[in-house]
A = this chain, B = another copy of it.
């Protein structure tokens, strides 16, 4: 295992020290491992809390700031945060207008956020609404399963709902926007290599030099199927095709197209992939209204990428364009 770390057990705590040192505009509660925007709670504004396992940086701490999240809880690597963290975050961002939890649909995340909400309900008057993201078309959805994973769309939810909150929408409105983004977004990912969980010390899976995993999530879990390595053009097809098959993306005001790197893939390749994705969408008659290309939701050093498409409307685009000022996404401010 080759990593810039000290003790595998301290990776998260030590990285949080770095985040605190690098970003004076954030406040880090090291005991609870929660990253707050430093003016939280913002009076009268709906608070946005997200969080999840670490190892996906910049998600979520990198999205804390005006126009996006008010707080992010950092769990252990690939392990959802515990309820105490979520409670601390929720309390810390409660400006009197309620708090939205943005939760990725994983059993652990959902249960820990749920338990936190139960604790909050028992002890305080803070109104909490959770929106669970589940955009990964690689996973077959059914009543009897854990359902689809929350992946790329989560960042779009955080940005867009964050803008809605910043603009003063009430909790129901912010939650509605968040659900709309989730409902109109779909994703699919591919891994060329595994990642190595620091505490595990070796790659989560072995992938021969000529193979890749299609339909992966963001925790180094294997994908739906293993197929021979293919040119970028074909990989783009393998990712976009099931996304388009799952939702009709035509007829809106264009899509937000998000090509996300898994951590170990150079930006050079992500741009190349974006060109392929854009070509496929053009052929399909789907206009790209906005785009995002970069490693925003990673899986440690995994090589690979995911494609997220969000069917946008005027309001969502306006909220997407609204100012945001976070370590990882920043414009208009």
Contact = CB atoms under 8 A, between A and B. Distances in A.
Contacts of A112: none
Interface string A43-66: 000000000001101100010000
Contacts of A77: 268
A138 interface: no
A18 B233 contact: no
A213 to B, nearest CB: 11
Interface string A131-159: 00000000000000000000000000000
Interface of A: 1-7, 11-12, 14-19, 21-22, 54-55, 57-58, 62, 77, 192-193, 209, 212, 229, 231-233, 235, 263-276, 278, 288, 291, 293, 295, 298, 300-301, 303-305, 330-331, 333
Contacts of A16: 271
Interface centre among A2, A304, A331 (most CB of B within 10 A): A2
Nearest to A54: B268
B6 A232 contact: yes
Contact of A274 (B22, B54, B231, B265): B22
SS of A interface (majority): mixed
Contact of A278 (B12, B18, B274, B303): B18
A4 B232 contact: yes
Contacts of A265: 4, 301
Given A2-B193, A21-B275, 9 more contacts: A2-B303, A3-B192, A3-B269, A18-B293, A19-B271, A22-B291, A55-B266, A264-B266, A264-B303
A138 B114 CA distance: 52
Contact of A266 (B6, B293, B301): B301
A315 B155 CA distance: 37
Nearest to A269: B4
A2 B301 contact: no
B17 A270 contact: no
B267 A5 contact: no
A148 to B, nearest CB: 24
A2 B265 CA distance: 10
B18 A57 contact: no
A266 B192 contact: no
29 contacts: A1-B209, A3-B269, A4-B192, A4-B232, A4-B270, A4-B273, A4-B305, A11-B268, A12-B268, A14-B232, A14-B272, A15-B268, A15-B272, A16-B271, A18-B272, A18-B274, A18-B275, A18-B276, A18-B293, A22-B274, A22-B291, A55-B266, A55-B268, A62-B267, A263-B266, A264-B301, A266-B301, A267-B295, A301-B303
B6 A271 contact: no
Contacts of A62: 267
A196 to B, nearest CB: 10
